[in-house]
Amino acid sequence: MDELLNQIAVKKAALDRLRPLSGPALAQLQKHYDVDLTYTSNAIEGNTLTLRETAEVIEHGITVGGKSLRDHLEAVDHYDALLWMRELAAATTPVDENAVCELHRRIVARSQPQIAGIYSRNPRRIAGSPVVFPNPAKIPQLMEEFGAWLTTAPVTPAAAFEAHYRLTAIHPFADGNGRSARLLMNLILIRGGYPPVAVRPEDRKAYLDSLESASLADDPAPYQTFMHQRLDATLAEYLSVLREALPPPMPNAGGE
């Protein structure tokens, strides 16, 4: 883990040297990654839209034949919630319980408005998982405590990943907990100057297994390692793309 943290620190320093990041090309790059974040987060939860289809729905409002209305609405909801998350990340407003509920409200605003931002009053289970979530009666207190922790949590990758884990462990909503947790995680990462991290569909099993292990064995180390590996890979990708997008250096005066 120490070697991994060192790799991340080196890449983060390289990213900081490229700041300030601005310009039309970088705006387009951010939009590309935001569409990708929407696709990956929804795909992990069973949404059947491909990356291309997700982009068509978000950018052009085009419906895809053979795909459910809910799949389309989830794409629009997540993208809108992601844009709001970026606005909050750029502000100085504390991230608290209300912010988490607002993230969830936006994530299911069109697809499941009846549960938007509302804590579940029923038991929650994940099919095929032995993890047992807290009694619904305990959710308000647990979320209040979680919100208080969030307001003082450092803007570090470890804290971002812990916030994700804590929210999924409480599992306060009837649906949309994973999508909310990943946006919350990325909000903290962005505030800390890191790029947002996508958990790709091909990583779904390793991701869910690490979360389950953290809950059942009370051992967050494998989960933290997995998420730091994803951050390291994301930093490498960002650096590669950003370096390609940068204008070539100006020649020295005198032709040297």
- For residue 255, what pLDDT band results from cuts at 50, 70 and 90? very low
Which carries the bigger pLDDT value, residue 219 or residue 146? 146
Query: Mean per-residue pLDDT for 43-58?
Result: 94
Give the chain as a 3 state SS string.
CHHHHHHHHHHHHHHHHCCCCCCHHHHHHHHHHHHHHHHHHHHHCCCCCCHHHHHHHHHHCCCCCCCCHHHHHHHHHHHHHHHHHHHHHHCCCCCCHHHHHHHHHHHCCCCCHHHCCCCCCCCCCCCCCCCCCCCHHHHHHHHHHHHHHHHHCCCCHHHHHHHHHHHHHHCCCCCCHHHHHHHHHHHHHHHCCCCCCCCCHHHHHHHHHHHHHHHHCCCCHHHHHHHHHHHHHHHHHHHHHHHHHCCCCCCCHHHC
Query: Mean per-residue pLDDT for 143-162?
Result: 96
pLDDT of the residue at 248 = 59
Percent of the chain residues past pLDDT 90, beyond the cut: 70
Of the residues 72, 78, 164, 171, only one is catalytic, namely 171
90 CB-contact burial (10 Å; exposed 0-12 / middle 13-18 / buried 19+): exposed
Each residue of 97-145: pLDDT tens digit? 999 999 999 999 999 999 999 999 987 777 667 778 889 999 999 999 9
Is 171 a catalytic site residue?
A: yes
Query: Mean per-residue pLDDT for 185-203?
Result: 95
* Domains (range + CATH), the chain: 24-196 (1.10.3290.10)
Binding positions are 175-182
pLDDT of the residue at 95 = 95
pLDDT of the residue at 245 = 65
Percent of the chain residues past pLDDT 70, beyond the cut: 92
Binding positions for ATP are 175-182
- For residue 66, what pLDDT band results from cuts at 50, 70 and 90? confident
pLDDT of the residue at 246 = 63
